């Protein structure tokens, strides 16, 4: 079925296709009285938007957001949320009118062409239609609203690894992240990645990536056991991003190789709250935040849009071949980074409100 | 908040604490006319139940399920589902009346003691209360009902790795899985693990594990883009199991280290449906099943219940120390295996019905 | 489909059939720290239970509730809610083993026999199965939990009319309500109704009723526009009670016959909040409470279980006739009164928490 | 809280304020392959739109709908639904820039001014903001999509009563309904109402109304017991329409005054399905459709916008007075009629899909 709403209390619904007239999100349940105008959203869309460097797709989209409802005059002539649904719209402008006849009839392996057809009987094939990563612009816009609900929380996402080449945690420099086209916290790695991604781009190949996201300032107590655990909701949020194939909380798969002694997070008396000597758990125990940083790792596969011909079938079941010419992202994990941040914000904001509902 | 319901159309709600009188599940939305009695559920509970070997906790629970509603006389004197909610109850029998004073006042690091207290202000500390893995018995019972909805699907889960020692895929033998106490598909690995886990048990230590689950027979077309994608729902389902810290679909994090060429899943003409030359995607593209086997990998951390003393604090914030004496699971991933299977069944059954709702 | 959960934040799920072993409710999302034991629920079940007078069905059910989860030791040796799901169970004891062969094969007009069969292909016909009003015992138990969430609110329901004979508002005496077998606030009317209902009972006939419910102490601001309005949720809650065919808020259908001037609720300065000169609106404007008493009126049809033979068909489509011998309620509105109260409590408690989620 | 989504499988979310730039709906879960373009929606909006006669508000709105997503090329050059969310937008054009200072500071009794302020701390007061009946345009647009899901069902709503003057059922003429400005099925009543409403309009007064809606062609078996009963969902849908204060199914409150014998709906053998000798039940038994026409009656209060001054308070709690000059609807029930039809379609379509999910 189609299910385009996410969240339990702070809910958002997105709509729109890659090459339709527009796409958007409706954010519902947002508390009233938060300062919100387009200027509070646009920077996050700018961070995600294509064509920013030669390392991302050359599709040109202004990705200008418009707020159509849910805000009104606030203090000092500023605009604030009213508590009613916030409708956000982004018009598509660069729907290049190319010939889609090939993709219309032939399934691109690794894309959702075949599965959408199998489900719905047909599909909007222009640029992937609803399955296009362009939909994530709506999440990023919604995520900007969610951030307003979380003034106490700092969220930062960065690329930790591209094509198997990992940034060095010892070189971690938060200030570096926005300073290179890879959201890389390690200047040396960024330099290596420039060559790596450029080679892939020139060869019409593509690379996978791992993105990490850390939220600090999350108090202990957020999370809704047992079927809306904070980590379960984060897993769904991240796994639902286009091209994502894996999610870890804290040490993740690494924890499966540790002993109980190695994986322990000893606690010590702290000032207001206990201190933790380690954070293998990634800030979540029993599905509830512990007050430690919430840490998520997300695996992006390499995009299936490559220049090398791949065997496939057409809609009639005949053998065919497909190769992707033209603009595409050589490493979708890069542009996925602001989306990971947005989803972290959306999940945390929802859980903050959920916690307040039950526990006051 | 508390959120104890899972699913969208086939929904189940669980309740109960580790040391309360009973625990259970209410399964709602199940189609009518499916043959169901206790005998269809009990074998799955038996697979999960404790005390089966020296490699799992020695708590003795019969884990007998009772169906309290939702079934009625069917053909040939058999009992069948009526379409109304199915209430399943399992009584707790071995709630050993030990002294809980230590755990009542002192937080066990790695457990949910501190986070539950931070959330609710206090907690039922007997055996972890609601945060105990005992709750998963209710999921396994619900999962047995979900299986009835999926006669076309075969689901099998097995342990792929314990303490970093992986089973060899070349030795994979499905018949072996139920033949050793580890759900291990590789007889040689099972032998090694016996020593490994026994050592851990004797040392009062614990080990992590990786569980794999494969569902075959899932037709192309199940999944609900974009916020109830099949992979996203599986990620939530698995990450919500006690002690799970990571989830992968198909190649998962491995895909992040591949190129687009290596990660391709070429398609070829098949008899009824296309054949896939590979299944890096784990049977899901764009959140919708492709007709290939659905493959999930799940990382279980080592349990935090160890004999080695760990630093902690008490409820008053004073320094303390905790060590776990008595019965516990040296490798919770083992008993987690039937739970992974159950969650796979529950997610697939829900998506089968969701698909039918929209697409007939 | 089957959909046995009600509520958005404070949710409850009921299960069970009229003649199964038991029925129950799972209440989820309840705040922690509320004093709760069986004694807080039983009086409400006693008010609803059958066999209390000759004016209700003579089925004898103890309707003893058992709390199976969600509570733990609180202050002073009392039991309190933990924030986890509260499982409530009521065992059926008087499932008279009568011969159901007639009802099994023949549809009782006005009952849900035919519609259940049309939906599910068959049904548990014993006493109406899931469609029996016995299910409302679970709502009443859940409602008792909801009341704990609403210490500031007083809820009272009473029968305003039986068989077209209305109680006189001028004789309204709250103390009288529990003093007669009709929940009638007018002693004179109660006397008349005794004769009226007794005549119906002896004749094997049945009578409709109108129940009113008033909640005072609800602050202004509860309600979730625009598709979970307080009045819309109350309408669903009440219309979903067995035998209910109409719901009014405030003046209801009477308001449709007034002019704007007559229907006005003028406001005047009050101490803390404005005073209202009238309450035609029944305490709700725009789906949000105004601080005035919330007033609901509910129409119960006469039960279809009557001694007079009624034309019908059997499962094979042949003409048949049905008449109801044995125990039944001559006026189901009477026993519906505690159910109306319970649903009012459940809706208000849910909206209190919903309001807190968004507006702090 | 804010909760702007309705439905379980076929869900829609609306957004927008009376005097914002636009309003709209996102319809999710719609089956693929249904022919849909703006032309399939516009006639229903035209039926609802203001300024059609002197008997409705003189605000001029073109109410042109635009489909922004969820449709794509279908057969014969027509456009069809894809199964992805359908975004519908209607721009506001006649937001008369009048002086809102009075309404901004003074609560209009009977409107949602006070309750919105009590909830959110402030409100968009222009024309009622989100609480304006203008929001119902979005429902009507969504309802047009729902109708596509229900080719087997015919839905018709009409005004049965204005200001206490009822149309005569004996004069019922379906062809008459769209032939007068009152959706009145009785030509004689329409004539009387013209005078009645005109008098009210000239006097700056307002009148209540009762709207009836009948859906024929609904097969037996739709409905989701016990907390999403068809009648309960209809009650919520109707009670949530602006100015509605009462809802009846079938005989409604009238049934409360009947005996069981009078209220019986005897069944007789029919061709494919049984025939019913009467339909007191309004086509629903036990929350499930019986195959008889589904009949709903809805009470609209007179609008509170009247010329006569009404006592009130301002935001500072001081005594004030309010009277409504300028354009308004003398009888909001008239324009509510297409909204009742739309909500009937939306509830039925949702239940058709829900039924299909569980029962195939």
In degrees rounded to 5, what are phi and psi of residue A5?
A: -120, 140
Q: How confident is the model at residue D322 (pLDDT cuts 50, 70, 90)?
A: very high
Which candidate from C85, C120, C129 shows the least CB-CB separation from B15? C85
Residue A1: the pLDDT is 62
Question: Per the CB < 8 Å rule, is A85 touching D13?
Answer: yes
Residue C302 marked ligand-binding: yes
Among C9, C70, C80, C357, most A C-beta atoms within 10 A, so best to mutate, is: C357
Peptide bond into D337 cis (omega under 30): no
Among C3, C4, C135, most B C-beta atoms within 10 A, so best to mutate, is: C4
Q: What is the pLDDT along chain C (360 residues), one digit of tens a residue?
A: 689 999 999 999 999 999 999 999 999 999 999 999 999 999 999 998 877 788 887 777 789 999 999 999 988 889 999 999 999 999 998 766 566 777 889 999 999 999 999 999 999 999 899 999 999 999 999 999 999 999 999 999 999 999 999 999 999 999 999 999 999 999 999 999 999 999 999 999 999 999 999 999 999 999 999 999 999 999 999 999 999 999 999 999 999 999 999 999 999 999 889 999 999 999 999 999 999 999 999 999 999 999 999 999 999 999 999 988 766 789 999 999 999 999 999 999 999 999 999 999
- CA A45 to centroid of chain Cα atoms: 12
Residues D59-69, mean pLDDT to the nearest whole number: 90
Picking from A92-101, C233-242, D175-184, which range would have the lowest pLDDT averaged per residue? A92-101
pTM of the shown model: 0.97
Mean pLDDT of chain B: 94
Q: What is the pLDDT of residues B32-87, one digit of tens each?
A: 999 999 999 999 999 988 777 888 877 777 899 999 999 999 888 899 999 999 99
What is the spatial distance between Cα D67 and Cα D85, in angstroms, rounded to a whole number? 10
Peptide bond into C226 cis (omega under 30): yes
* Residue B342 near residue B140 (C-beta atoms within 8 A): yes
Residue D55: the pLDDT is 82
Residue B214: the pLDDT is 98
The residue whose two tokens read 């969208």 is B8
Q: Which residues of B are annotated as a binding site for FMN?
A: 130-132, 242-243, 286, 301-305, 327
Residue B290: the pLDDT is 98
Residues B330-349, mean pLDDT to the nearest whole number: 97
What are the residues of chain D with a beta carbon less than 8 Å away from any beta carbon of chain B? 9, 29-32, 83-84, 225, 353-354, 356-360
What is the spatial distance between Cα D241 and Cα D334, in angstroms, rounded to a whole number? 13
Contact residues, chain C, for D354 at CB < 8 Å: 1, 3
What are the residues of chain C with a beta carbon less than 8 Å away from any beta carbon of chain A? 9, 29-32, 83-84, 225, 353-354, 356-360
Q: How confident is the model at residue D212 (pLDDT cuts 50, 70, 90)?
A: very high
Residues D182-205, mean pLDDT to the nearest whole number: 96
* Residue D279 near residue D214 (C-beta atoms within 8 A): no
Q: What is the pLDDT of residues A102-139, one digit of tens each?
A: 778 999 999 999 999 999 999 999 989 999 999 999 99
What is the spatial distance between Cα A52 and Cα A338, in angstroms, rounded to a whole number? 13
Q: Is the pLDDT of residue A97 over 70?
A: no
| Burial readout B324-347 (b: 16 or more C-beta within 10 A, e: otherwise) | beeebbbbbbbbbbbbbbbbbbbb
| Burial readout B229-247 (b: 16 or more C-beta within 10 A, e: otherwise) | bbbbbbbbbbbbbbbbbbb
Q: What is the pLDDT of residues B276-293, one digit of tens each?
A: 999 999 999 999 999 999
Residues D196-205, mean pLDDT to the nearest whole number: 95
**Which of A108, C246, C27 lies closest to D210 in space, CA to CA?**
C246
% chain A with pLDDT above 70 = 98
Q: Is the pLDDT of residue B328 over 70?
A: yes
Residue B49: the pLDDT is 81
Map residue B27 onto helix, strand or coil: strand
Residues B195-203, mean pLDDT to the nearest whole number: 96
Q: What is the pLDDT of residues B104-158, one digit of tens each?
A: 899 999 999 999 999 999 999 998 999 999 999 999 999 999 999 999 999 999 9
Residues A243-252, mean pLDDT to the nearest whole number: 98
**Which of D70, D157, D132 lies closest to D338 in space, CA to CA?**
D157
Q: Give the side-chain half-sphere CA count within 13 A for C356.
A: 19
* Residue C185 near residue C174 (C-beta atoms within 8 A): yes
Residue A348: the pLDDT is 98
User: Strand D288-289 relative to strand D294-300: parallel, antiparallel, unpaired?
Assistant: unpaired
The residue whose two tokens read 């609807």 is D329
Q: DSSP secondary-structure letter at D219?
A: P
**Length of chain A measured in residues:** 360
Which candidate from C5, C119, C246 shows the least CB-CB separation from D248? C246
CATH number at D131 reads 3.60.150.10
**Length of chain B measured in residues:** 360
Residues B91-98, mean pLDDT to the nearest whole number: 75
Residue B96: the pLDDT is 62
Question: Per the CB < 8 Å rule, is A164 touching B131?
Answer: no
* Residue B232 near residue B224 (C-beta atoms within 8 A): no
Which candidate from C5, C252, C285 shows the least CB-CB separation from D227? C5
Q: What is the pLDDT of residues A13-65, one digit of tens each?
A: 999 999 999 999 999 999 999 999 999 999 999 998 877 788 887 777 789 99
Q: Count up the domains in chain D and report the number.
A: 1
Q: Is the pLDDT of residue D313 over 70?
A: yes
Which is more confidently placed, A325 or C357? C357
What is the spatial distance between Cα D32 and Cα D70, in angstroms, rounded to a whole number? 9
User: In angstroms, what is the C-alpha Rg of chain D?
Assistant: 21
Q: How many CB pairs under 8 A join A and C?
A: 41
Residue B97: the pLDDT is 57
Range(s) of the domain holding residue C295: 5-359
Task: Count Cβ atoms below 10 Å from residue D322 Cβ, excluding itself.
Answer: 24
What is the spatial distance between Cα B257 and Cα B251, in angstroms, rounded to a whole number? 10
Q: How confident is the model at residue A270 (pLDDT cuts 50, 70, 90)?
A: very high
Q: How confident is the model at residue B100 (pLDDT cuts 50, 70, 90)?
A: confident
**Which of D22, D137, D27 lies closest to A13 in space, CA to CA?**
D27
Residue A101: the pLDDT is 75
Residue A66: the pLDDT is 98
What is the spatial distance between Cα D297 and Cα D300, in angstroms, rounded to a whole number? 10
How many helical (H) and strand (E) elements, i.e. helices and strands, does chain D have?
Answer: 8, 18
What is the spatial distance between Cα D63 and Cα D141, in angstroms, rounded to a whole number? 10
Q: What is the pLDDT of residues A283-294, one digit of tens each?
A: 999 999 999 999
**Which of A218, A30, B135 lies closest to C87 in space, CA to CA?**
B135
Which candidate from D111, D236, D319 shows the least CB-CB separation from C233? D236
Residue A131 marked ligand-binding: yes
Q: In this prediction, does ipTM exceed 0.90?
A: yes
Contact residues, chain B, for A131 at CB < 8 Å: 225-226, 286
Q: Is the pLDDT of residue A316 over 80?
A: yes
Residue B101: the pLDDT is 75
Q: What is the pLDDT of residues B206-229, one digit of tens each?
A: 999 999 999 999 999 999 999 999
């Amino acid at each position: 079925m189609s299910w385009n709403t996410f969240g339990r209390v702070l809910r958002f619904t997105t709509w729109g296709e890659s090459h339709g007239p527009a796409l958007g999100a409706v954010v519902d349940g947002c508390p009233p009285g938060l300062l919100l105008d387009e200027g509070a959203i646009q920077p996050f869309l700018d961070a995600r938007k294509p064509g920013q460097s030669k390392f991302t797709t050359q599709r040109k989209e202004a990705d200008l957001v418009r707020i159509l409802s849910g805000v009104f005059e606030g203090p000092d002539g500023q605009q604030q949320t009213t508590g009613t649904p916030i409708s956000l719209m982004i018009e598509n402008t660069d729907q290049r009118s190319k010939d889609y006849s090939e993709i219309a009839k032939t399934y691109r392996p690794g894309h959702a062409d075949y599965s959408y057809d199998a489900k719905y009987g047909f599909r909007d094939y222009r640029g992937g239609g609803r399955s296009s990563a362009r939909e994530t612009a709506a999440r990023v816009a919604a995520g900007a609203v969610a951030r307003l609900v979380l003034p106490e929380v700092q969220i930062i996402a960065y690329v930790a690894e591209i094509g198997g080449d990992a940034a060095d945690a010892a070189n971690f420099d938060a200030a570096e992240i926005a300073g290179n086209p890879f959201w890389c916290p390690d200047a040396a790695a960024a330099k290596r990645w420039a060559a790596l991604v450029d080679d892939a781009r020139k060869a019409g190949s593509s690379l996978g990536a791992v993105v990490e996201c850390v939220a600090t300032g999350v108090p202990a107590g957020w999370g809704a056991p047992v079927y809306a655990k904070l980590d379960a909701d984060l897993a769904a949020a991240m796994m639902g991003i286009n091209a994502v194939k894996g999610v870890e909380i804290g040490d993740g798969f690494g924890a499966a190789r540790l002993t109980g002694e190695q994986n322990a997070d000893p606690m010590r008396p702290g000032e207001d709250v206990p201190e933790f000597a380690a954070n293998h758990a990634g800030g979540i125990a029993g599905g509830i935040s512990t007050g430690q940083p919430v840490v998520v790792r997300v695996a992006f596969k390499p995009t299936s849009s490559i220049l090398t011909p791949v065997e496939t079938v057409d809609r009639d079941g005949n053998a065919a071949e497909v190769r992707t010419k033209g603009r595409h992202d050589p490493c979708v994990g890069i542009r996925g980074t602001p989306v990971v941040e947005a989803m972290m914000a959306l999940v945390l904001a929802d859980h903050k409100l959920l916690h307040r509902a039950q526990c006051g």
